[in-house]
Amino acid sequence: MIKKDITIDLNCQFSLQIQSSSFSSIFKAFLQLLPQLLEEFFQKTLVSFAENEMKSTRKSFACKCCGNDTEFKWKTRHGKATCILTLFCWITLRQLQVECKRCGSKQYITRTLLDMESKKRVPDETRRKLALIGALTSFRVSEKIGSMFGWAINKMTIWKSVQLIGSKMEFMLDSNEQPRGEADGTGIGIKGIAKRGKELKVFVQHKKGGGIRVAGADIGNYNGSWKNIFQKSIEVIKSFNCPFLLMTDGDTSIFNSLKGKVEVLIQRCLWHIPYQAKYFLWKDSVKRKSKEWLHVVAELMEICAIRPLVDCQETIDAMLESKRNRLEKLMDYCRKQGYTHTKAYLENAREDMFTAIENRLEGKTTSKVERLFRTVNMRSKVSKWSKQGALNVTKVRLAYYYNGFDA
């Protein structure tokens, strides 16, 4: 493909039967005209560009046999038909064929001119657009909306595009963004898959200008998923000149695959702690909203509330000491009351509650992933999915909403 502006004179002649002069008749007829016009336009433009190249010495193609890239003669401008998928419909192009003046071998140049791989029938651009449409709404709705605009692209093609584009998407940490992230999982409602045990795991990175980007995603029911997710980013974590701060809502098995390889500081999501504690209080049979229940929850809310923008080290130290004491007292209270589950939970969380503030790492100690889950989770509830299928559509959605993917 050579970049050079060319003027195309399009003089097409079309004959159409139109039933009446009503708006809908004319519009319907135009939609029928569209594919023909598109085909004609592609053909004409390709021939014009090819003519131009044939006249000049420099070619965008070389002979596949002898490597000659200057001397060719036309074989045909309307050769064997080939089909290519546009966003509207399939179009049939008559291939352009040239002959090498040096060795006499013939070759088609249509796809070279189109900047497409040989034999490929669906351009990447079409795939990406279809994948995005199919990831943003259901396949049935995609097909319906398309048909209103005169498209003739079926659900299967859209589905396939989502799968192809999604499966090729790779997420990892960006060394230009913050050395800070969150790892979280959520039960995912996948239609067609038994709900039990399937979890969408997402690793996000905080961006310098605020907001988040996705650095890893997987769907699985085992912790091996996390290993795969982190593996890709290990080198990036090493490239930061400070420890990586990873926030989580408590599933520490997440980090087993990182141990010993990189320096990672763990911060429990403080927002989650009082909520998770409610579950353990329930397990300990503490009556909801009872005096005892309220005491534990309210104390935890206070302990977990971190006032931002405190930049005096002495104040921070005093604040931490006070919070730690309060937490110890609360655990003591739980022990006395016989709340064994709640006490064990707090004991476990204690280590990683104040990591960020202790290390004077600014930033939020509450999770941003909640919202992300709400955003991406919806799509897999529509249509029937395999595990891989649901992951692929989720990846395309994540990439669109968080990583700037656009078609």
H/E run at residue 81:
strand 81-85
DSSP string, 166-221: HHH------TTS-SEEEEEEEE---TTS-STT-EEEEEEEE-TTSSEEEEEEEEES
CB of 375 to Zn ion, least distance (A): 54
Task: Give the C-alpha separation, 356 to 21, whole Å.
Answer: 70
Q: Is the CB of 70 or the CB of 228 nearer to Zn ion?
A: 70
Q: In whole angstroms, how far apart are CA 116 and each of 7, 122, 125, 242, 390?
A: 22, 9, 10, 44, 29
CB of 94 to Zn ion, least distance (A): 23
CB of 82 to Zn ion, least distance (A): 22
Q: Is the CB of 71 or the CB of 358 nearer to Zn ion?
A: 71
Binding site for Zn ion (CB under 5 A): 63, 65-66, 68, 100, 102-103
Task: Give the C-alpha separation, 160 to 37, whole Å.
Answer: 27
CB of 62 to Zn ion, least distance (A): 8
Is the CA virtual torsion 65, 115, 139, 217 positive or negative? positive
3-class DSSP assignment, residue 91 = strand
DSSP state, 286? P
DSSP state, 379? G
Q: Is the CB of 100 or the CB of 122 nearer to Zn ion?
A: 100
Q: Is the CB of 104 or the CB of 211 nearer to Zn ion?
A: 104
CB of 70 to Zn ion, least distance (A): 11
For residue 253, the tally of other CB atoms under 10 A from its CB is 10
Q: Is the CB of 69 or the CB of 370 nearer to Zn ion?
A: 69
CB of 52 to Zn ion, least distance (A): 21
Q: Is the CB of 63 or the CB of 229 nearer to Zn ion?
A: 63
H/E run at residue 246:
strand 244-248
Contact 202, 217 (CB under 8 A): yes
CB of 100 to Zn ion, least distance (A): 3
